[in-house]
Amino acid sequence: MTRRCPLVAGNWKMNGLLASLAEIAAMGGAYDSALRARLELVVCPPATLIGMASDLATQASIGLGGQDCHAAPSGAHTGDISAEMLKDLGARYVIVGHSERRAGHGETDAIVQAKASAALRAGLAPIICVGETRAEREAGDALRVVGEQIEASLPADSPDTIVVAYEPVWAIGTGLTPTVADVAQMHAFARERIEARLGGGKSAGVRILYGGSVKPANAGELMSVANVDGALVGGASLAAKDFMAIAEAYRVIG
Ligand code: PEP
């Protein structure tokens, strides 16, 4: 059976000034060799900090990721950054299709797929976000919506190094989380749909993260669910103390 190394990734969103780089150093201080053997840790600061975070993250054995990329490698796209630019600064990952970008920037599944392909072209692993809205869950449509997002957002020729993050939109930043049973159902379903999309048994190697109000208090329970291979953490990733308390859950998860 394929062993998937758990991944806990922090999405700082539009937060963080130069002083926030101290949090990365503090995370490194708590990321001891026993924990490093159990999980991979990644921080996705705003683009303004990635260059300066690079050496710090390397020293701390923490991976770096971007929060978005343009589909093109370069060109006349004012304000955008490419996957190649992120790679150039030392990033290994990039989040694509976060619900805040789907909602706030009109990103469709086709755009998300093009960005994921761009990440792979540049040698980055895309963290491809999917998830239903509250109305879709209440209408009983959560599985259908997420299944369709997986089908349309993942490049068909993806390697198993891609990461999929299931983030119910209604759970992001709200303090609400799905039940353990709902998370188990969705993650098992997501793996089936990833296999249907990629084929060749590749889904066994793809890490599926849960995201949405993960906190130190609920990380152990959520990360222990079958097919949950880690977390995408927003608010609780800004302070090293909280982020590392979430990572600590893996010290005891088998
Ligand atoms: C996110 O934005 O990806 C996220 C999961 O946010 P939070 O942890 O704050 O709910």
Kind plus residue range of the DSSP H or E element containing 127:
strand 125-130
Expressed in angstroms and rounded, the spacing between residue 46 Cα and the centre of ligand 1 is 14
The residue-averaged pLDDT of 185-195 equals: 98
Percent of the chain past pLDDT 70, that is, above it, reads: 99
Q: Which of 74, 196, 65 minimizes the C-alpha distance to 128?
A: 65
pLDDT at 194 over 90: yes
Q: What does each C-alpha distance from 199 to 22, 61, 204 come to in angstroms? A: 42, 32, 10
pLDDT at 29 over 90: yes
137 vs 135: CA distance, rounded Å: 5
Note the pLDDT tens digit of each residue in 233-244.
999 999 999 999
Active site residue 98: yes
The residue-averaged pLDDT of 74-87 equals: 98
155 vs 114: CA distance, rounded Å: 8
- From the alpha carbon of 171, which atom of ligand 1 is closest? 10
pLDDT at 2 over 70: no
The residue-averaged pLDDT of 72-76 equals: 98
Longest distance between any two alpha carbons in the chain, whole Å: 49
pLDDT at 31 over 60: yes
pTM of this prediction exceeds 0.95: yes
The pLDDT, as a whole number, for residue 1 is 54
The pLDDT, as a whole number, for residue 187 is 98
The residue-averaged pLDDT of 65-87 equals: 98
Note the pLDDT tens digit of each residue in 204-235.
999 999 999 999 999 999 999 999 999 999 99
Residue 52 class from Cβ within 10 Å (0-12 exposed, 13-18 middle, 19+ buried)?
middle
235: helix, coil or strand? helix
Residue 121 class from Cβ within 10 Å (0-12 exposed, 13-18 middle, 19+ buried)?
middle
pLDDT at 254 over 80: no
Which listed residue (23, 70, 84, 98) is catalytic?
Answer: 98
Domains of the chain as residue ranges with CATH: 10-251 (3.20.20.70)
The pLDDT, as a whole number, for residue 163 is 98
- From the alpha carbon of 173, which atom of ligand 1 is closest? 10
Note the pLDDT tens digit of each residue in 92-151.
999 999 999 999 999 999 999 999 999 999 999 999 999 999 999 999 999 999 999 999
Q: Which of 164, 163, 167 minimizes the C-alpha distance to 213?
A: 167
The pLDDT, as a whole number, for residue 3 is 83
Mean predicted lDDT score pLDDT of the chain: 97
Q: Which two tokens stand for residue 155?
A: 């490049």
Report residues whose beta carbon is within 6 angstroms of any ligand 1 atom.
Answer: 11, 167, 172-173, 211-214, 232-236
Ligand 1 probe mutation, 167, 170, 183, 218, most atoms within 8 A of CB = 167
pLDDT at 66 over 80: yes
